[in-house]
Structure 1
Amino acid sequence: MGAAAPPPGRASVARAAVRPGTSGFGSDDEGSFGGGRSVKGKDKSKAAKRRRRTNILTAAAAVVVILLGAGVVGGTYFFDDVDLPPPVSEDQSNVILDSTGAVMAKLGDQNRTVVPEAKINKIVEHAVAAAEDKNYYKHHGIDMKGIVRAAWNNFTGGATQGASTITQQYARHAAELKDISINRKLREAVIARKLESKYNKDQIMGMYLNYIYLGQGRYGIEAAAQGYFGKSVMTPAGQKNAITPYEAAVLAGIIKQPEPSESHQGYDPTVNPTAAKERWEYTMANMLEMGWISKDVYDKRKYPTPKQAGKAKVKSTANKPVGMVMRHVQAELAEMGISEDQFKKGGLTVTTTIDPVVQKAAEEAGSRKSEESPMNGKPATYQAAVIGIDPKTGRVLGYYAGDDPDGLDYGGYLSGDGKKIIGGQSPGSTFKIYTLAAGLKEDISFKTTWDGTKLRPNGTKISNAGADPGAVCKGKIKFCDLETATIKSYNFPFYWIADAIGRDKVIAAARDAGVRHMFTDDGKMVDLKKTDKSTWEKTGYFDNEVAFGQYRVVPLEHAEGVATIVGNGVHHDAHFIKSVTRVDPETGKKTVVGSEKTEGKEVFDPDQMSNLQSVLKEIVRVDDRDLRGGQQSIAKSGTWEFKEGSGDTWFVGGMPQLAATVWVGGAKDKVELKESNGRDMFGAGTPSKIWKKFLDAVIKAKDLQNEDFPKRVETGNPDSPFANGQEPPPPPARDDNDDNEGGDCVLGVIGPDCNQNNNGGNNGGENNGGGDNNGGDNNGGNDGGGDDGGGDDGGGAPENTPETQLPTINPTIQPQN
């Protein structure tokens, strides 16, 4: 073969294979479909002689027919059934940008950017004509000499040949004429004539330049100019970074044979510089001959140095964590009505919501590969996800869901094709934010009290992760107030809230906040937007344990719900796309074909949210996770059991500028999570450290000014009929003869009773193991145990309690039923 076929999937640019230094149309042109005439021993039999005479006569007749252009090609168009195909809409790459406009990736089957002909620098068009068809602007689309030569060779047993004009090359592509025959050649000629009758030379040149393949996976002249020289062909001549005549000649020379073959290494200047330079000299000489460059420009010619393959400065998401965003981009494009075929066709510019600063902070906080991450040094079986959402718009600003962009999506559990959700994780006590939102909506106050000794209807206890009942709520287990229970993350009030107001209202609150899918214990995924109470309360679906996070959810959807709480009860759909534009290849005008919807919907009362936020602020303080510079923040920790320890651990919340959700669990399969000191991992351990590192890094990098949450408005009825707390015992009788009205704490300063309130409560006292910061033992129970230093539930659900006998969900991923 005189010209190598492009790599698989690439459109072939079939044309005459012209040796460097020849005219391209002379007798020495061997054609792109053969390396010369076939050499055969002459058959001297009478039959062979008759065949040769017949071939000669037939060939002569064909040549006569072809040469009667006015009667055949020019008049009847070689049978009226030869239709003129429409101009081909070339496949392009899709450009993916971050929120700042920087290129993240180019996606699509072909690296092509279609550009309008009117904007292409004329020196590029002239260079291509000089290299491929120097008489392009003089003829009417057909090379008669080439057709005659091809006809003669085909009918006399010689090699099939090409020698096509630029118009014929494009005609062959537009009509998909792939066979090698005289019939194809004649049809090609007819279509070329029709093209020249309908379009002018500039239009045909524009279609051709957007079609041609120029090596290294680059389709079209713009991709080639960017790839080889880092320039655009649309930069006007004379301006900075415009393509020079010398660079244009290099690009034009590649067209002849862009890829190596067995017989020739082609004309890619980075692969075969010697042949490429010879081809460049040939092109430059033709440009001078045709008057497209001056003698002075020609005399001063200097061969330009192209960029080596792989040295382009375009960013790529390949093998980078941010690449996981691409499957969410594809899913949202489908939701916008942009089909898979349209995406493959390319030409889209997708501006994502990803903020490079927030993305970097998420990756450095969550990836085991980051030396700065609390995950660094953890076993390879451990995995984290870090999601940052703007609570004011729903934009996903940072998304770390694993190091392998082609692997499992630990943030959204979205399949590789972006078409379905394949799993989720148990949120543990972080789900209590929705139970509280539902309770506040039913006028339940944080001052209501709840009985932690009350048994379930089936007679089983509600566990608080093994905490001593006598120590729960500082000994007030029978009349524990909801605020303390929230900060300490005791389970019993939440169970009874769901039981009293209806668990469907808890589920509805989660749905309204942004949680769309929830899994039953047997792995069935339930779409909360397409179902209601009649489904949720069926046997085998969701029990009251939903109130403290037994049932698995998608972390990204949970992050959307968390952003609603951080955003004062206004829900925004979490999304990865800001806008989608397409450039009209004819005019170069950009058209918006998709855009984000940032309008929010108030789903929870703002006063009730201020009430909830104020309580969640205390968890940040208790867990010693205050943010950089005193920035206000709210949080909730959560843990769900696995075997004898923890399987899913969470820390969620954020600041007014950014909602942050962190999950740590098993990679692929669940494992028992341990801290580096060997103790069980809880939400207020490693996940909370990741959460703080993530937000602190964003605050520092973006130099964010402090923002406060709204001031607390205490809402609800302290005497709510839903509450089941027992009446507290009367205070001990006071001895009227005792002059010390302060008991054993004189003036509230001196005496043994003065310490009774200073060492308990939320930070290192009872039920507060102290953890990494306070040195406590791993004996804390709900929200105070282990390494958490208070605030975490140590297990979230009724875990580690044999009397509960709830099913343990082993796999991280469950197939959708």
Structure 2
Amino acid sequence: MPGSSGSASVGGVPGRASVGGSAAVGGARVPGSSGSASVGSARPGVPGRAAVGGAAVGGAAVGGAAVGGAAVGGAPVGRAVPGRASVRPVSPAGPGDSGPGGAGPGRRSRSAGSMDPEAAKRAKRRKIANWSIAAFAVVIMTAGIGIVGLTYAFDDVPDINTFEPEISTIAYADGSEMTKLGEHNRTVVPDEKITPLVKHAVAAAEDKGFYDHSGIDMKGIARAAWNNISGGDTQGASTITQQYARHAAELTGINYNRKIREALLARKIEDNYDKDQIISLYLNAIWFGRGAEGIEAAAKAYFNKTVTKMPGEEGALTASEAAVLASVIKQPEPVQGGHQGYDPARNPEAAKERWAYTLNNMAEKGWITAEERAKAEFPEKSLAKYDPNACQAECVNNKPVGHVLNYVKDELAEMGITDWQQRPYKIKVSINPAMQKAAEDAASRKSKSSPMSKTAENHQAALVAINPTNGQVLAYYGGDDGAGFDFAGRNGGHPPGSTFKMYTLAAGLREGMSMESYWDSTKNVDEERGGREISNAGREDPACGKYCSLEKMTIDSFNVPFYWMTKDMGPDKVVAVARDAGVRTMWTNDDEEINLAEVEPTAVAPSKFDVEVGFGQYKVKVIEHVNGLATLANRGDYNKAHFVVSVEKKNSATGEWVKVNGEQIKPEKKFDTEQIDSMLKVLQKIPGASDGNDHSLAGDRPAFAKSGTWELGKEGGTNGDAWYLGATTQIAAGVWVGTSGARAAIKDPDGSDMYGGDTPGQIWEDFMNAANKAAKYKVESFPEGSSVGDPSVLANGVSPSPKAPETPDNQNPNPNGSPSCEPFDFNCLFGNNGGNNGGGNNNGGGNNQTPSPTPTDGLPVLPGVPGGGGPGNDDDD
């Protein structure tokens, strides 16, 4: 086609010239070459394709093969680009004006006068680039020309209709299938039925020179090789043809063999298909996010439209909508800790920026007019709503275990695995199916065997169980609706009440306190804070007076000692212990969420978490609180609570499943073992502390526990949250009971106020017995705790003397040291405290005064005192 320097159209494909018979195209540019390629006779019968003879690379022939246009094994691997071949005109500066190659027509002779400094620099850079590519070609040829030839000869182009995506699966700890993860949806559309608007948008976004090149980006390949050698970033495919070759062959790993194979397959694709067919294959194959494999599924997922409608037809995609779809391809979904992708529902700002880039390129290439570009608006109104966490396939979102999926997805993202909807994975999680059933049977209102089945309809429970030795979550119940509100963690927290006193004790022990210390229960007013009263929720003061042992105060769960303990050492010490144990999230009285992993305790306590943190005023997540419990059960060694145990990915070449990631158990010593043992020695007395509410486990299995309750406060005056946390050496489990919807009073089935030792305690006991039976765990004991610390540290009480103090004639001495007991007042004499030893009411383990104690409305909030008051007081348990 003599004299042609424009772009000819062949069969509607822009940028392709028909070459019939023999055509000599002088100075044709071969992608990847920096010199002048001599193009011989055109390949007979193939329109627009010219057979490349001995192409020169930087002016040097390498093994008779041209990089970017080499004939390998007798097969042409490259072609000149018709419509772009031209001889550059001589510039006004005269013959020898610098061009893109060496000396020759239109180029300055190296001996012709002095060279402009900038031109010299450009020439030097070209020379270096040419030699780099030549060197890479030598490596390719010497490393295995036979392999390359065989690869080209025998690598068939996969048929798009044979693509059957495999779905990732999640398995329980025993290997049985829990669910399938994600959705694959593909409808293959013939190339002639795909609107050209979409093809042009995708070319503009991914490869705007697509219609002009021969399918291989040699500079990109050389760059990838250099980065592999130099340790730089790995490089992906650049042209659309290479991207399709990589996707179709499912080539994995960034290495020379893959890049060579990818390039050769791309050339074979270019030899067998025209540009219109290639981009259609690409569009039918690639991943767009939202469960969409291919462009037709993507059009429906993002705009509820089809790509088969041509411009002007009703319901056809607009240029703006096509640009959104094209823009998503670069990264459909977020990367943990990195870019959040280009789906407008996930990352609207980045999506709009890339959308504008795509439209600008469409205008530059003439695929839309400048006027159309100027009028284009981002199609927010036509975008389909999308919830990334919604169930998108056969899944378990309608079951309680559905809540686990959200954690699994988060953990996969933390591992860098974000393509689980594109590639098949096998993911094993820690949930034990038998224990999960036990949790649902014990905590769900739908279970007839659950204590919850007889409570009011608005009552809700949550239960989490963790293996203390490794942090694996064994069972998780956050509600019956796996797609609804998760009461166990992801959607908020609850005031933990006296269960938080475990951390207060651990903080005191860190400060040198002893579990054998004594406390003054009569010191129930803080004069330094304007006479603030330290309430025990209306209960009578314990009879031990100034001689109360910390053991008794812990088992009976009186607030007064814990108030002074926290104030004297500082509330930040309690927050620090909670954080170290596993509590990472707390809420202030104003419902401000604080991430304890990102702030120092001194920065938030007492400014946001005041002294009341010592007995559980501030909301926490159930799963994190149980993680803290597990740390204590593991004698001070912390393991992060997690669900994913192992991840396997299918090797596309062999079909074998290969482990690519899994849990990394790294215990962290957070607390002194002897200190924790001394505390657990006391806490082991709580499950069986009350004859009327005994939660001792079957088979005399040793366990420790702590119950807690928090009032409604200003919202009503009765209890709004009740907890029971307890553990053996093998299972740490926690139960919360409150209400769904608006926070309201919680009642036991008999209508009495619910305490931690009542319904929550019974749920815990039922679950633990069933779980231990299902797992066939042996009965194990905790090590015997010993006395540690100094009884005088923090303590404000008086140790009873060996000789009982003098008392009036009409009173009998109290073994606990109180001088105020009436004759034959056995509750006083033996420190029974009204039966309030196990938590709960009269036949639920405590608080059997008649009438029931009058609930308080919370500690008074004093001017300038942060954290005072709050939603209510710990009622005990």
SS at match of 2:532: coil
Q: Quick one: distance in 1 between partners of 2:734 and 2:405?
A: 20
Matched, 1:526 2:594: yes
Correspondence 1:613 to 2:613: no
The residue that corresponds to 2:556 in the other structure is: 488
* Correspondence for 1:426: 495
Q: How many residues align?
A: 536
C-alpha separation in 2, matches of 1:443 and 1:434: 14
Cα separation, partners in 2 of 1:487 and 1:744, compared to 1, 3 Å = closer
Deviations 1:134-186 (A, max 9, x none): xxxxxxxxxxxxxxxxxxxxxxxxxxxxxxxxxxxxx999599xxxxxxxxxx
Tell me by how many angstroms 1:384 deviates.
Answer: 0.7
- SS of 2:583 mapped into structure 1: coil
Give me the whole-angstrom Cα distance separating, in 2, the residues matched to 1:766 and 1:584. 62
Secondary structure of 2:724's counterpart equals strand
Alignment of 1:434-445 (within 5 A): 434-445=503-514
Measure, in 1, the Cα distance between the counterparts of 2:576 and 2:839.
35
Secondary structure, aligned partner of 2:451: coil
* Aligned equivalent of 2:47, options 63, 72, 94: 72
Q: Distance in 2 between matches of 1:483 and 1:441?
A: 17
Deviation of 1:589 after TM superposition, in Å, equals: 3.5
| Aligned 8 A contact 2:50 2:80 in 1 | no
Q: 2:413 aligns with which of 334, 337, 354?
A: 334
Cα distance in 2 for residues equivalent to 1:602 and 1:760:
40
Q: What's the RMSD between the two structures over aligned residues?
A: 4.4
Q: Which secondary structure state, in structure 2, belongs to the residue aligned with residue 376 of structure 1?
A: helix
Whether 1:689 and 2:759 are equivalent positions in the alignment is: no
Taking structure 1 as reference, are residues 558 and 353 closer, same or farther at Cα in structure 2, changes over 3 Å only? same
Q: In 1, Cα distance between the equivalents of 2:402 and 2:169?
A: 13
Does residue 638 of structure 2 align to residue 571 of structure 1?
A: yes
**Counterpart in the other structure of 2:574:** 506
CA distance in structure 1 between the aligned counterparts of 2:766 and 2:533, rounded to whole angstroms: 38
Alignment CA distance shift 1:111-1:634 (3 Å) = farther
CA-CA distance at 1:534 after TM superposition: 3.6
Alignment CA distance shift 1:769-1:382 (3 Å): closer
Which residue, out of 614, 621, 644, partners 1:554? 621
Against the structure 1 CA distance between its residues 373 and 489, is the aligned structure 2 distance closer, same or farther, given a 3 Å change threshold?
A: same
> Is the aligned partner of 1:385 residue 2:457?
no
Does the Cα contact within 8 Å between 1:90 and 1:211 map onto a contact in 2? no
Mark the runs of 5 or more structure 1 residues left unpaired by the alignment.
1-54, 56-61, 113-170, 177-189, 200-206, 221-313, 414-421, 736-741, 746-751, 787-793, 811-817
Instruction: Say if 2:704 is the partner of 1:634.
Output: yes
- Structure 2 equivalent of residue 654 of structure 1: 727
The 2-side partners of 1:580 and 1:766 are apart by 49
Deviation of 1:80 after TM superposition, in Å, equals 5.5
The alpha-carbon distance between structure 1 residues 346 and 677, as it changes in their structure 2 partners (threshold 3 A), is same
Distance, in Å, in 1 between the alignment partners of 2:675 and 2:806 is 38
Q: CA deviation at 1:761?
A: 4.3
- CA distances 1:789-816 after superposition (whole Å, capped 9, x unpaired): xxxxx98xxx445657854449xxxxxx
State whether structure 2 residue 791 is matched by structure 1 residue 714: no
- Residues 443 and 366 (structure 1), Cα distance of their counterparts in 2 relative to 1, 3 Å cut: same
Which of 1 and 2 has higher RCO (CA within 8 Å, sep 6+)? 1
The answer to whether the 8 Å contact 2:512/2:789 transfers is yes
Equivalent residue for 1:260?
none
Given candidates 490, 510, 534, the residue that maps to 1:462 is 534
Alpha carbons 1:513, 1:560 under 8 Å: kept: yes
- 1:401 Cα offset (Å): 0.6
Is 2:420 the partner of 1:346?
Answer: no
Secondary structure at 1:511's aligned position in 2?
helix
String of CA shifts for 1:658-716, please: whole Å, max 9, x gaps.
00011111113211001111111110010000000000111222222211111121211
* Mapped contact 2:556–2:839 kept (Cα < 8 A): no
- SS across alignment from 2:635: coil
Could you give the per-residue CA deviations for residues 321-367 of structure 1, whole angstroms, max 9, x where no partner exists? 1111000001111211223xx23323121111111111111111111
2:486 paired residue number: 409
Match of 2:112 in 1: none
Measure how far apart 1:753 and its partner are. 8.5
2: distance between equivalents of 1:426 and 1:802?
15
Task: Sort the Cα spacing of 1:631 and 1:766 in 2 relative to 1 into closer, same or farther, 3 A.
Answer: closer
Post-superposition, which runs of at least 4 consecutive aligned residues in structure 1 deviate over 6 A? 84-90, 190-193, 196-199, 210-213, 217-220, 742-745, 752-755, 766-770, 774-777
In structure 2, the CA distance between the partners of 1:354 and 1:744, relative to structure 1 (3 Å rule), is closer
Q: Is the 8 A contact 2:858 2:869 kept in 1?
A: no
Distance in 2, matches of 1:734 and 1:555, equals: 48
SS at match of 1:424: coil
**CA contact 1:763–1:770 (8 Å) conserved in 2:** no
1:3 alignment counterpart:
none
The answer to whether the Cα contact below 8 Å between 1:651 and 1:663 also exists between their aligned partners in 2 is yes
SS at match of 1:597: coil
Q: Secondary structure at the match of 2:726?
A: strand
Alignment correspondent of 2:312: none
The aligned counterpart of 2:654 is: 587
Deviation at 1:195, TM superposition (A): 4.0
User: Given that residues 649 and 665 in structure 1 are in contact (C-alpha distance below 8 angstroms), is that contact kept between their aligned partners in structure 2?
Assistant: yes
Post-superposition Cα deviations, 1:737-763, rounded to whole Å, max 9, x if no partner, equal: xxxxx9999xxxxxx989948994459
Amino acid at match of 1:343: W
Secondary structure of the residue aligned to 1:72 is: coil
* Partners of 2:626 and 2:174 in 1: CA distance: 23
- State the Cα distance separating 1:625 from its structure 2 match: 0.3
Instruction: Look up the match of 1:446.
Output: 515
Contact 2:172–2:178 (CA<8 Å) still a contact in 1? yes
Aligned partners of 1:744 and 1:753 also within 8 Å: no
Deviation at 1:606, TM superposition (A): 1.4
SS across alignment from 2:558: coil
Amino acid at match of 2:578: A
Partner of 2:471: 394
Query: d(CA) in 2 for partners of 1:527 and 1:172?
Result: 45
Give the one of 281, 303, 323 matched to 2:402: 323
Listed as ranges, the matches of 1:148-167 within 5 Å are none
Q: Which amino acid aligns with 2:759?
A: T
Q: Indicate conservation of the 8 Å contact 1:466/1:800, yes or no.
A: no
Scaled by the length of structure 2, the TM-score of the pair is 0.55
CA distance in 1, matches of 2:517, 2:548: 8
Q: Given residue 400 of structure 1, which amino acid in structure 2 is its aligned partner? A: Y
Instruction: Give a deviation string over 1:491-538, Cα, whole Å, max 9, x none.
Output: 111111111222111111111100111111111111212211441235
Please, which of 606, 612, 615 is the counterpart of residue 545 of structure 1? 612
Query: What's the counterpart of residue 151 of structure 1?
Result: none
Secondary structure at the aligned position of 1:432 is classed as helix
Which whole-Å CA distance do the structure 1 matches of 2:845 and 2:670 have between them?
41
In structure 2, distance between residues paired with 1:448 and 1:95: 54
Matches of 1:809 and 1:81 in 2, distance apart? Answer: 76
Query: Aligned partners of 2:618 and 2:569: how far apart in 1?
Result: 19
Between 800-809 and 623-632, report the one with greater CA deviation: 800-809
Q: Does the 8 A contact of 2:834 with 2:848 survive in 1?
A: no
Distance 1:480 1:93, change over 3 A: same
CA distance in 2, matches of 1:506, 1:775: 28
1:144 alignment counterpart: none
For each residue in 1:568-606, what CA deviation from the matched residue of structure 2 results, as whole angstroms up to 9, or x when unmatched? 111100001001121121222333332112221121111
Identity among equivalent positions (%) equals 39
Q: CA deviation at 1:318?
A: 3.7
Q: What SS is found at the alignment partner of 2:183? A: coil
Q: Measured at CA, do residues 376 and 553 of structure 1 come closer, stay the same or move farther in structure 2, by a change above 3 Å?
A: same
> C-alpha deviations, 1:171-228, integer Å up to 9, x for none?
999599xxxxxxxxxxxxx9999249799xxxxxxx99x9799xxx9999xxxxxxxx
The reply to whether residue 602 of structure 1 matches residue 669 of structure 2 is yes
Q: Which residue of 2 aligns with 1:272?
A: none
Does structure 1 conserve the Cα–Cα contact (< 8 Å) formed by 2:757 and 2:839?
no
CA distance in 1, matches of 2:265, 2:769: 65
Distance in 1 of aligned mates of 2:836 and 2:639:
40
The normalised TM-score by structure 1 is 0.58
Matched position secondary structure for 1:345? coil
Report how far residue 371 of structure 1 moved: 0.8
Conserved 8 A contact 2:462-2:477: yes
Q: Which range is displaced more, 629-638 or 457-466? A: 457-466
